[in-house]
């Protein structure tokens, strides 16, 4: 069997945006939109900056809040140690965040958390005398239930069907028995299948809220590595953020700063999120709606709630937990309350973080290092065997399917299907005719160009017909090429964005987590190829 590569560059996958490729290459085009780069030199600078800006008093509040959040949960000694370490001025966090997707949702949930766990280990080895805590920030205040209420398993979509309102973290887990029974029907008979079902049951049927279920699940998968899970939907933590909420209510700095950045950034890249005039929601158990200022009073959208300037500031003082940051202010909330150095996220996430640098500067909060999370493709020995028999390199599977099939048919065909030499000769002939036309009658040029276009189009059509005929001849080979690519790239997407971890855990058990932690290097910043 051919040598199996361990990784390819993010750029070579074809699945990452120009913005992310430019960021990884440190292009001058993108340099104005981030602070320090995610290497050891960048982390050294970030440490000094965060040390000077993080209030020591916040550590005690953070520690007490986490103690309360973990009440009733069995946690590892390493997680307990990390929670306690947060009281120390020499301790810093590296953070990732994710929605509360049912049963973790896409596979990359695991890669995000593995990225920060391994980053914390490597930083501790690099910066002696400092401690680094890996954090998973639960997006418990999101309200888009449709995005999180399902997961994919072996080609089936298992959905939690219910009405939902308000913050998803507060949702009751009622109704998930049906999903568990459906999941049970798809699982095989093995030991790991029983463990998966047990994990689902203990997470979702033995915890009352979605936030509690997600905390339990993430803790079961990664608690032994010292992962600390933070729920921002917390009165004490919101209290630390109240001054920034007040600033947003009174001055609306976010919209002005982000809009200016968007004008500059939008000329180069796609803009992920547009700011509102006020980037806050009003939050209760059944309500999460935008706060709108009409010039005189503050209104809560889709409700009868109205506040004067004085009354909304009084509400903030008495009930900070009722003010929820939107997608653009959530990063600021996280960076205010945590002694944080970096945020690990996917390309789309980092793209909207890059809209925020000038806003952070405006409100005097250090902008964190932005780290593109680890990505990976898990490939079995059976799949590798199929690729070898089809003479396909794993890197080729990242190509567009039509391009891949055409390329492979051309390789195995006895006929020369590539008409490039003929095209070149045709173009050379017409170049000579253009020279003659210019020397005799320049009006003849138009006729020459039209004939050139006609001849080249005809040649292209002939090439496509021949290729199509050869694809029919090699139908079996074509079907097998498509099947292996569809298996590893479901829905023409990256495996990690479609598959759930359970598909691999069913076969590998806990060794799946060990393998991911062993292979993913957050400072390598390449797309990993992992044999399972």
61, pLDDT greater than 70: yes
Q: Which residue has the tokens 């690099």?
A: 126
Same domain? 207 vs 229:
yes
In contact, 4 and 88? CB cutoff 8 Å? no
The values of phi and psi at residue 139, to 5°, are -80, 65
Please tell me the distance from the alpha carbon of residue 367 to that of residue 358, in angstroms, as a whole number. Answer: 9
pLDDT-based confidence at residue 415 (cuts at 50, 70, 90):
low
Same domain? 179 vs 293:
no
Please tell me the distance from the alpha carbon of residue 441 to that of residue 181, in angstroms, as a whole number. Answer: 81
Count the Cβ atoms, other than its own, within 10 Å of residue 380.
15
442, pLDDT greater than 90: no
Per DSSP, 450 falls in state H
Same domain? 427 vs 355:
no
Same domain? 153 vs 295:
no
Among residues 375, 362, 285, 293, the alpha carbon closest in space to that of 328 is found at: 362
* 254 belongs to a structural domain: no
Cβ-based neighbours of 332, under 8 Å, separated by 6 or more: 244, 325, 356, 359, 360, 363, 365
Q: Which residue has the tokens 């890197």?
A: 395
* SS3 at position 342: strand
Cβ-based neighbours of 146, under 8 Å, separated by 6 or more: none
Same domain? 398 vs 361:
no
Same domain? 116 vs 217:
yes
460, pLDDT greater than 90: no
What does the pLDDT look like over 175-204, one tens digit per residue?
Answer: 999 999 999 999 988 789 999 999 999 999
What does the pLDDT look like over 505-520, one tens digit per residue?
Answer: 999 999 999 999 999 9
Angle between helix 475-488 and 401-412 (nearest 10):
140
The values of phi and psi at residue 285, to 5°, are -60, -35
16, pLDDT greater than 90: yes
Per DSSP, 373 falls in state P
Tell me how many domains the chain contains. 3
pLDDT at 431: 78
Q: pTM for the whole thing?
A: 0.90
Residues forming a β-bridge with 153: 156
pLDDT at 172: 95
Once rounded to an integer, what is the mean pLDDT over residues 355-363? Answer: 97
pLDDT at 474: 66
* 253 belongs to a structural domain: no
Cβ-based neighbours of 90, under 8 Å, separated by 6 or more: 129, 130, 131
456, pLDDT greater than 80: no
308, pLDDT greater than 60: yes
In contact, 86 and 63? CB cutoff 8 Å? yes
Please tell me the distance from the alpha carbon of residue 380 to that of residue 4, in angstroms, as a whole number. Answer: 12
**252 token code pair:** 């609306």
**488 token code pair:** 């590893």
487, pLDDT greater than 90: yes
Same domain? 223 vs 281:
no
Same domain? 419 vs 293:
no
What does the pLDDT look like over 148-168, one tens digit per residue?
Answer: 999 999 999 999 999 888 899
Measured distance between the N- and C-terminal CA atoms of the chain, rounded to whole angstroms: 16
Kindly state the helix (H) or strand (E) to which residue 290 belongs, with its residue range.
strand 288-293
Same domain? 84 vs 196:
yes
What does the pLDDT look like over 93-118, one tens digit per residue?
Answer: 999 999 999 999 999 999 999 999 99
Range of the domain at 131: 7-236+329-378+511-531
Three-class SS of 308-367: CHHHHHHHHHHCHHHEEECCCCHHHHHHHHCCEEEEEECHHHHHHHCCCHHHHHHCCCCC
Once rounded to an integer, what is the mean pLDDT over residues 474-491? Answer: 90
Three-class SS of 85-123: HCCCCCEEEEEEEECCCHHHCCCHHHHHHHHHHHHHHHH
* 407 belongs to a structural domain: yes
* 181 belongs to a structural domain: yes
What does the pLDDT look like over 252-288, one tens digit per residue?
Answer: 999 999 999 999 999 999 998 999 999 999 999 889 9
Among residues 155, 153, 143, the alpha carbon closest in space to that of 100 is found at: 143
pLDDT at 409: 78
Same domain? 24 vs 91:
yes
Same domain? 372 vs 230:
yes
């Amino acid at each position: 069997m051919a040598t199996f590569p361990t990784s390819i560059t993010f750029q070579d996958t074809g699945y990452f945006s120009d913005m992310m490729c430019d960021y990884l290459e440190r292009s001058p085009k993108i340099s104005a939109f981030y602070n320090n780069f995610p290497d050891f030199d960048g982390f050294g600078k970030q440490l000094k900056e965060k040390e000077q800006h993080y209030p020591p008093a916040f550590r005690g509040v953070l520690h007490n809040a986490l103690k309360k959040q973990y009440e009733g949960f069995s946690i590892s000694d390493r997680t307990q140690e990390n929670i306690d370490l947060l009281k120390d001025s020499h301790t810093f966090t590296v953070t990732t965040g994710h929605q509360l997707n049912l049963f973790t949702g896409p596979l990359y949930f695991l890669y995000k958390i593995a990225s920060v766990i391994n980053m914390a280990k490597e930083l501790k080895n690099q910066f002696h005398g400092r401690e680094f805590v890996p954090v998973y920030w639960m997006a418990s205040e999101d309200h888009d239930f449709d995005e999180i209420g399902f997961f994919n398993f072996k080609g089936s979509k298992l959905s939690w069907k219910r009405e939902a309102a308000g913050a998803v973290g507060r949702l009751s887990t009622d109704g998930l028995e049906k999903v568990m029974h459906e999941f049970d029907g798809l699982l095989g008979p093995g030991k790991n299948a029983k463990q998966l079902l047990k994990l689902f049951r203990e997470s979702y049927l033995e915890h009352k809220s979605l936030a509690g279920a997600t905390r339990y699940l993430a803790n079961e998968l990664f608690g032994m590595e010292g992962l600390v899970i933070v729920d921002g939907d917390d009165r004490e933590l919101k209290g630390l953020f109240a001054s920034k909420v007040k600033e947003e209510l009174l001055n609306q700095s976010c919209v002005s700063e982000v809009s200016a950045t968007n004008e500059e950034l939008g000329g180069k890249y796609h803009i992920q999120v547009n700011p509102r005039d006020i980037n806050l929601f009003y939050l209760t158990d059944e309500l999460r709606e935008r706060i709108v200022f009409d010039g005189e009073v503050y209104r809560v959208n889709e409700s009868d709630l109205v506040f004067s300037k004085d009354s909304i500031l009084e509400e903030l003082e008495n009930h900070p937990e009722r003010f929820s940051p939107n997608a653009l202010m959530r990063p600021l909330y996280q960076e205010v309350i945590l002694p944080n150095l970096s945020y690990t996220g996917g390309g789309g996430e980092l793209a909207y973080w890059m809209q925020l640098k000038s806003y952070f500067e405006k409100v005097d909060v250090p902008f964190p290092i932005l780290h593109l999370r680890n990505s990976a493709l898990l490939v079995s020995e059976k799949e590798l065997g199929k690729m070898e028999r089809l003479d396909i390199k794993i890197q080729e599977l990242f190509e567009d399917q039509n391009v891949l099939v055409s390329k492979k048919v051309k390789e195995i065909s006895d006929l020369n299907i590539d008409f490039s030499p003929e095209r070149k000769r045709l173009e050379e002939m017409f170049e000579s005719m253009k020279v003659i036309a210019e020397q005799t009658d320049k009006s003849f040029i138009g006729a020459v160009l039209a004939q050139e276009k006609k001849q080249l189009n005809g040649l292209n059509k002939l090439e496509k017909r021949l290729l199509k005929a050869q694809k029919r001849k090699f139908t079996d080979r074509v079907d097998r090429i498509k099947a292996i690519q569809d298996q590893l790239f479901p829905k023409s997407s990256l495996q990690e964005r479609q598959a759930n971890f359970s598909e691999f855990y069913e076969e590998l058990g806990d060794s799946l987590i060990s393998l991911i932690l062993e292979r993913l290097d957050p400072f390598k910043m390449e797309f990993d190829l992992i044999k399972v």
